[in-house]
Amino acid sequence: MRTATCNRMTAETEITLTLNLDGTGKGDIMSGVGFLDHMLTLFARHARFDLAIRCAGDTNVDDHHSVEDVAIALGEALKESLSEKRGIVRYGSQLLPMDEALVLCAVDLSGRGSLRYTASIPSQKIGSFDTELVQEFFMALSRTAGITLHIRQLDGENSHHIVEAMFKSLGRALKQAVAIDPAYADEIPSTKGVL
């Protein structure tokens, strides 16, 4: 099984995260940031990853450190669980509607961390959650995991729907990308021979 556990401790957060790429979509997430818990539960379900997170962070300051550090821990676990990436499909994409919102997500498990994020989230807050942290999450994830990640909002008026579509589409795109292609199960999916 392709699994990894990441323990991350800083002056601002203490995180334990376990990821199983070949799971059933079970999320057991307690980050201390309610909206992030909701989004990562949806992400895990749509990716069919088993994801467990415990984070104790300085949310008395704000949610920034917890959101960013959870993304870093998830990126580290994703990178470790993929190992040398032998046999994976490598690419994945999803065009996902969520009511009036429409989001395109595309990933390349390239080993090169890069984010292209095009979105206009109408509100600055969803409940108590700062919507500017959405981009921070995806940036930290893509850099740490070493993935090329494109997220493009094509439509949407409701902030919750837009962000939810992003996390669900990322889950679906990663599900495709990490899948093992039986025809190439012993190969690294790159002409370079390494990812």
Any idea what the CATH number is for the domain that residue 33 is in?
Answer: 3.30.230.40
In a domain, 173, yes or no: yes
190: left (phi over 0), alpha (psi -120 to 50) or beta: beta
Q: Domain for residue 51, yes or no?
A: yes
In a domain, 20, yes or no: yes
| Structural domain of 51 | 3-184
The mean pLDDT value of the chain amounts to 97
Question: pLDDT tens-digit profile of 101-120?
Answer: 999 999 999 999 999 999 99
Model-level pTM? 0.97
Question: pLDDT-derived band of residue 185, with 50, 70 and 90 as boundaries?
Answer: confident
**Within a domain: 48:** yes
Q: Is residue 191 one of the residues assigned to a domain?
A: no
Beta strands in the chain (DSSP E): 3-9, 13-20, 27-30, 50-57, 91-98, 101-108, 114-118, 125-126, 129-130, 148-155
Is 169 contained in some domain? yes
The total domain count for the chain is 1
